Structure 1
Amino acid sequence: MAEITYYLAVDIGASSGRHILGWMDKGKIRMEEIYRFENKLEKRNGHLCWNLDHLFHEVVEGLRKCKELDRIPESVGIDTWGVDFVLLDANGNVLGNTVAYRDGRTKGMDEEVYKVISESELYGRNGIQKQLFNSIYQLMAIKKEAPQLLARADRFLMIPEYLNYRLTGVAMNEYTNATTTQLVNAKTQDWDFELMEMLDLPTKIFGELNMPKTVVGPLSSEMAARVGFQTTVVLPATHDTGSAVMAVPTNSDDSIYLSSGTWSLMGIERLIPDCTELSRKHNFTNEGGYHHRYRYLKNIMGMWMMQNIRREFKHKYTFEELYELAYIGRYFTSTVDVNDDMFLAPESMIKALQAYCEQTGQEKPETECELLYCVYRSLAKCYAKTVAEIETVTGRKYDTIHVVGGGCQDKFLDRLLVEVTGKDVYAGPIEATAIGNIMAQMLRDHVFEDLKEARQVVAKSFDVKRIASERE
């Protein structure tokens, strides 16, 4: 019997992380979650921060689980959310707290940047959608509030890169996540050092950008002893959306993807970036993808709103019960702009929804049914608007939407998407980010010839369902 070759994806999101083993079996990718842990924001010195020591501890515990199960991975890849980073001093120690993107420290930092370069000129260089939490604005906040940290900084690492550094001792920057900083030139696909100098940011701290499939290195001897085995750390698309988009189960150019989770990322793949003023005005982003592709998409608030509303309900409804409640609330017509800053990190999502409706002269949602349908309808309208804008900017029609990620399990939202767009909608695979992470490792190991073949295997390996409209 042939020995199985395992690959380990460590997929860390804003609320939880998972260790998922993947392997090939009879021409299909098989996967199993072997470890799960909690991730959450903590308040430190008045800021919302990540607990990196906790995250690293959990990464190690998941590796130890592989040893316990006697399923030693050939390689390991780590992906997380984008934009957040650490600054290291010359001794490799973290400087300051790892402040999270949902923190309010970046308020007004866009204006600080625009004193140096206009918004349109900035977009012309990097093609990245303006989000006030992007790394460029976080760095400007540090420059203003704690310039001594930047002065002492020797290295800039995104969150997954820092975890890789703790595992291997190798500090290595990765391309797809770096593009979320708004400091990478869209055309050269390299750091924009000229822009950094304009903003008086230290260029020396930014290392060479490496593409997915690049080997970071073996576990350090200390780490190998700690987990009980040796393996190789490989770069996936370390930005979770970059990995999720790799796992979209189609090679068609006529489809739109929706990576649905805490955030919704909706867009298409392109081989050439679009940094035009028309693209900027529609607020699209050109994030880096696998093998020099561009993820031309919009960041939409996504299931974050639903997750927070659910937490505030006194009764802990099942998802099926939530769908039924939302269906009952279909009479309710008020909608909100899901991307409004007031929904980014409110103390109460319910109060934020009610306040928005009052401020815009709409009926305020009161019941659980109204609150749920208000969010569902608002998300669906935002998706439909984004589809229309993609078609306007690209000058072409798309016939299919592929919904991937955990949010694809939301039957009510999937059906609404069919209704508001009139497109064929397919849901799955659910674990798209982990699948994409494992695909990059398998591509590095020559399991697949190229991404096209890998996607064909994904399409036959995982459950992908066509969503019927309510009328069907």
Structure 2
Amino acid sequence: MNIKYYLAVDIGASSGRHILSWIEDGKIKYEEIHRFYNGMDDEGGHKVWDTGRLFEEILTGMKKCHEMGKAPASMGIDTWGVDYVLLDKNDNIIGSTYAYRDSRTDGMDDELYKIISEKDLYARTGIQKAIFNTIYQLMACKTKEPENLEKAESLLMIPDYLHFLLTGVKRQEYTNATTTQLVNPETNEWDIELIEKLGFPKKLFGKLSMPGTEVGDLSKEIQEKVGFNCKVILPATHDTGAAVMSVPNTSEDVLYISSGTWSLFGCELEKANTSETARSANFTNEGGYDHRYRFLKNIMGLWMIQSVKKEFEAGYNYTSGDGCSDNAEAADYSFANLCARAEKETIDSIVDANSELFLAPKSMIRAIQDECYRTGQPVPVTPWEISRVIYRSLAACYKQAAEEIEEITGKHFDSINIVGGGSNAEYLNKLTAGATGKTIYAGPSEATAIGNIGAQMLSDRTFADLNAFRQCVFSSFGVKEFK
């Protein structure tokens, strides 16, 4: 049987994976071909990305496809949002490729608001304030490294740059571009007037391309390295945009949580909501497939549990905070066990999971303990107590976000569809159902990669439209239900 394969390269803040997919008996099938580490490096006191290392991992996974005799017909790359590279006239990266958790943006909101107020900026872009947004990163560049902006001939978001390395073709993809806080939600193009007002070079911002757009063939050099040629197709290159494409419920009365390092909680709107009410509640209007708007709130998400897991595994002495636990190697700190053991604990402390206290603390464990102490609540000590506090805190944030969405949109939502890796956290799913009073549908867990594949299949006319693709996702993977 002649099978047509589609390759999704899905890169998150902590890992990347190559997912190869195809249609079989009317259902979407997939297999993981390659998985690799990703993480921020420390360089000169800054947090940065090693794009060279990432690209080598992309090529490694592509070579494995060839070795397996499963060369894809097309491929696409998605990553997190907001981060970018600046290229000079020779297409070399200028300066460092900063990571969004780097502190160089501290105070850049005050600098930016000297030019345009926070209120006016939201009314103009519909994007929630987050100090790591590209707009603040570029303000930091303009303020601290102006020579880099002066030398720059191109600006590419991280997946745009990786696509460029594969093809030699530069395209700026729409969904990721909206995370810059520099796109006009009425025109769905760069807000050039705003860009010039802020003093950013106009030449860096070209025509935006939608998910499903063909970038081009692999360059001859890349073909020789990986052993095949294929089309490079733009997915929704922002991972949340890809994940939301695969939400398997086509009803308008469903909320979604794209649950990974971040929890992205929201609904889909046909038109951006740039009201003052939405701004005050810190909701964002990110661009989605077919110019749908992802009206959502960023919640800290599994970053907190990922961080404490690393500390436990490294031997953090959670009773004193200054040494190694004697039984660190013997304990099971898998996500599944942390979740299961947390459910058996009784501590009821809750922290604001969306607080900047938990964005990049030196120790996530200590940050949680200190905040519980500061607010007069019982302080968690064991890994299982700390995990329980995290899961309960996330559920409380979900409840608040659901109430805010219903108030702002005037709609009632009966259910929440959780997609991504967090859909496997059954204790968190139960807590969310209890906190919100809504039915929880959990799955698929590989939502981002499946959504990436969906854009490629839609481009290839495998499906008539997004709803047809979503129906196939539901029939292919199903969901678990929690009430």
If the TM-score is normalised by the length of the shorter chain, which range does it land in?
over 0.9
Quick one: which amino acid aligns to residue 416 of structure 1?
A: L
Once the two structures are superposed, residues 189-226 of structure 1 have per-residue CA deviations (whole angstroms, 9 ceiling, x without a partner) of 11011111111111101121000000001011111111
The answer to whether the Cα contact below 8 Å between 1:155 and 1:207 also exists between their aligned partners in 2 is no
The separation in 2 between residues aligned to 1:189 and 1:105, in whole angstroms, is 29
Deviation at 1:419?
A: 0.5
The separation in 1 between residues aligned to 2:268 and 2:335, in whole angstroms, is 31
Quick one: which amino acid aligns to residue 328 of structure 1?
A: K
Which of 375, 381, 387 is 1:366 aligned to? 381
1:396 aligned partner? 411
SS at match of 1:413: helix
Structure 1 segment 259-278 matched on structure 2, within 5 A: 259-278=258-277
Deviation at 1:370?
A: 2.2
1:180 aligned partner? 179
1:322 aligned partner? 338
SS at match of 1:150: helix
The separation in 1 between residues aligned to 2:230 and 2:333, in whole angstroms, is 42
Deviation at 1:319?
A: 3.3
TM-score (norm 2): 0.95
Q: Which blocks of at least 5 consecutive residues in structure 1 are unaligned?
A: none
SS at match of 1:22: strand
The answer to whether the Cα contact below 8 Å between 1:261 and 1:302 also exists between their aligned partners in 2 is yes
The answer to whether the Cα contact below 8 Å between 1:329 and 1:372 also exists between their aligned partners in 2 is no
1:90 aligns with 2:89: yes
Deviation at 1:443?
A: 0.3
2:218 aligned partner? 219
Once the two structures are superposed, residues 265-285 of structure 1 have per-residue CA deviations (whole angstroms, 9 ceiling, x without a partner) of 010001111001011011110
Which of 440, 451, 468 is 1:436 aligned to? 451
Deviation at 1:362?
A: 2.9
The answer to whether the Cα contact below 8 Å between 1:236 and 1:440 also exists between their aligned partners in 2 is yes
Once the two structures are superposed, residues 238-296 of structure 1 have per-residue CA deviations (whole angstroms, 9 ceiling, x without a partner) of 00000000000011000000110110001000111100101101111000000010000
Once the two structures are superposed, residues 174-201 of structure 1 have per-residue CA deviations (whole angstroms, 9 ceiling, x without a partner) of 0000000001011111101111111111
Once the two structures are superposed, residues 418-438 of structure 1 have per-residue CA deviations (whole angstroms, 9 ceiling, x without a partner) of 110111111001100000000
Structure 1 segments (4+ residues) deviating >6 Å: none
1:296 aligned partner? 295
2:137 aligned partner? 138
1:249 aligned partner? 248
The separation in 2 between residues aligned to 1:334 and 1:253, in whole angstroms, is 35
Deviation at 1:72?
A: 1.0
1:281 aligned partner? 280
Deviation at 1:309?
A: 1.1
The separation in 2 between residues aligned to 1:432 and 1:262, in whole angstroms, is 13
Structure 1 segment 5-404 matched on structure 2, within 5 A: 5-313=4-312, 314=328, 315-330=331-346, 332-404=347-419
SS at match of 2:345: helix
The separation in 2 between residues aligned to 1:318 and 1:45, in whole angstroms, is 33
The separation in 1 between residues aligned to 2:102 and 2:461, in whole angstroms, is 41
The separation in 1 between residues aligned to 2:242 and 2:340, in whole angstroms, is 32
Once the two structures are superposed, residues 54-91 of structure 1 have per-residue CA deviations (whole angstroms, 9 ceiling, x without a partner) of 00000111111111011111101000000000000011
The separation in 1 between residues aligned to 2:382 and 2:218, in whole angstroms, is 53
The separation in 1 between residues aligned to 2:397 and 2:217, in whole angstroms, is 44
The separation in 1 between residues aligned to 2:14 and 2:55, in whole angstroms, is 15
The separation in 1 between residues aligned to 2:194 and 2:97, in whole angstroms, is 24
The answer to whether the Cα contact below 8 Å between 2:11 and 2:17 also exists between their aligned partners in 1 is yes
1:445 aligned partner? 460
Deviation at 1:342?
A: 1.7
The separation in 2 between residues aligned to 1:117 and 1:413, in whole angstroms, is 40
Q: Which blocks of at least 5 consecutive residues in structure 2 are unaligned?
A: 313-327
Deviation at 1:100?
A: 0.2
TM-score (norm 1): 0.97
2:324 aligned partner? none
Provide the identity percentage: 56
Once the two structures are superposed, residues 310-361 of structure 1 have per-residue CA deviations (whole angstroms, 9 ceiling, x without a partner) of 122233323342123212323x222111111121111210011112223333
SS at match of 1:311: helix
